[in-house]
């Protein structure tokens, strides 16, 4: 049902973390170049505790979305994912992470709230049904490779552990706070956004998004264009009217396609799904927004 015997079992999920203490803001700690390695170390150790192996679960990216820290997880074995779910359900992961954060950050206590999602599914609502959780995680394939920053932090942590084991008596108490990865890695300005109360990872528009938009936006393509033009110079007047004239014979699909093509070409990596969804919402095209975010298909994971 889940995977053929030859194919590897791979799945993905998002772990949302938030401190319940107002003075501890996890995204701010992670965004600080001094504290980032300490937070990463705590995450890495707690996840290793949850699966019983350092490589049981892979962190692909850490998103800072105030007040949440969102960790994109990748599982390569079903048994590791099962162990992780058990640890999460029993509260062992939460306890382990609280303890590791407390030690790494030298704080008295770091109380946490956690939430686990796979796609549109809130796994906290179905934790007792472990197989269903596994099915949901398996259906969500990772959409990215590991972030360069994560690789840098991994290397940093390895060298720290080697240093500690060689020179155990002379480790300074601040050694986890190595000024490791460079600040300001090439993140888009907004890594997640909210739509209908749900959190979505922001991403650059794909060819699939482009085609769906052109196919479904119909006559409202001009209105969407005018919403996008507010912060896109390439769509300023009279560009939109010119597109309407130029592609009049080809019809609405081609006009909408050319509009979004101009946006993507001019904005590059900044041509994100969040910006398009915002323009669609502004013009009442909620159904199209849902379609682009995959809320119509894949309704349940049963």
pLDDT(228) > 90: yes
Q: Looking at the chain, how many residues does it have?
A: 302
pLDDT(54) > 70: yes
Report the pLDDT value the prediction gives residue 268, as an integer from 0 to 100: 87
Task: Pick the more confident residue, 245 or 176.
Answer: 245
Q: What confidence tens digit (pLDDT) does each residue in 278-300 have? A: 999 999 999 999 999 998 754 44
Q: Which two tokens stand for residue 157?
A: 């942590």
Mean pLDDT confidence for 186-212: 82
Mean pLDDT confidence for 67-95: 95
Entry pTM: 0.55
**The two domains 11-153 and 192-293 share their CATH topology (first three levels equal):** no
Q: What percent of the chain has pLDDT over 70?
A: 85
CATH fold, domain 11-153, is Alpha-Beta Plaits (3.30.70)
Q: Is 60 helix (H, G, I), strand (E, B) or coil?
A: strand
Task: Pick the more confident residue, 295 or 117.
Answer: 117
| Residue 259: other Cβ atoms inside 10 A | 25
The radius of gyration computed from the CA coordinates of the chain, to the nearest angstrom, equals 22
Report domain extents, the chain: 11-153, 192-293
Report the pLDDT value the prediction gives residue 99, as an integer from 0 to 100: 92
CATH fold, domain 192-293, is Death Domain, Fas (1.10.533)
Catalogue the long-range contacts made by 186-194 (C-beta closer than 8 Å, 24 or more residues apart): 186/269, 188/269, 188/270, 188/272, 189/270, 190/272, 190/274, 191/63, 191/64, 191/65, 191/70, 192/63, 192/65, 192/70, 193/274, 193/277, 193/278
Residue 61's pLDDT band (boundaries 50, 70, 90)?
Answer: very high
What are the backbone angles phi and psi of residue 201, rounded to the nearest 5°? -75, 130
pLDDT(192) > 70: yes
Residue 86 to residue 84: CA distance in whole angstroms: 5
Report the pLDDT value the prediction gives residue 176, as an integer from 0 to 100: 39
Q: What confidence tens digit (pLDDT) does each residue in 147-167 have? A: 888 988 988 887 766 655 555
């Amino acid at each position: 049902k889940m995977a053929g015997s030859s194919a590897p079992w791979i799945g993905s999920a998002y772990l949302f973390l938030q401190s319940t203490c107002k003075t501890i803001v996890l995204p701010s700690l992670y965004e600080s170049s001094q504290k980032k390695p300490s937070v990463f170390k705590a995450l890495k150790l707690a996840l290793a505790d949850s699966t019983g192996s350092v490589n049981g679960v892979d962190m692909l990216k850490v998103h800072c979305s105030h007040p949440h820290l969102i960790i994109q997880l990748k599982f390569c074995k079903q048994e590791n994912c099962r162990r992780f779910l058990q640890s999460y359900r029993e509260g062992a992961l939460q306890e382990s992470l609280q303890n590791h954060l407390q030690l790494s950050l030298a704080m008295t206590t770091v109380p946490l709230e956690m939430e686990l999602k796979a796609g549109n599914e809130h796994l906290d609502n179905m934790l007792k049904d472990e197989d269903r959780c596994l099915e949901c995680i398996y259906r969500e394939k990772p959409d990215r490779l590991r972030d360069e920053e994560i690789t840098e932090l991994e290397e940093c942590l390895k060298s720290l552990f080697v240093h500690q084991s060689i020179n155990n008596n002379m480790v300074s108490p601040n050694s986890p706070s190595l000024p490791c990865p460079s600040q300001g890695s090439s993140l888009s300005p907004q890594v997640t956004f909210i739509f209908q109360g749900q959190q979505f990872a922001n991403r650059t528009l794909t060819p699939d998004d482009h085609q769906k938009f052109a196919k479904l936006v119909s006559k409202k393509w001009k209105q969407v264009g005018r919403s996008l033009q507010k912060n896109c110079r390439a769509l300023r007047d009279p560009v939109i009217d010119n597109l309407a004239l130029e592609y009049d014979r080809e019809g609405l699909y081609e006009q909408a396609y050319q509009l979004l093509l101009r946006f993507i070409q001019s904005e590059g990596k900044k041509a994100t799904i969040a910006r398009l969804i915002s323009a669609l919402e502004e013009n009442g095209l909620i159904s199209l927004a849902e379609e682009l975010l995959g809320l119509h298909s894949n309704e349940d994971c049963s």
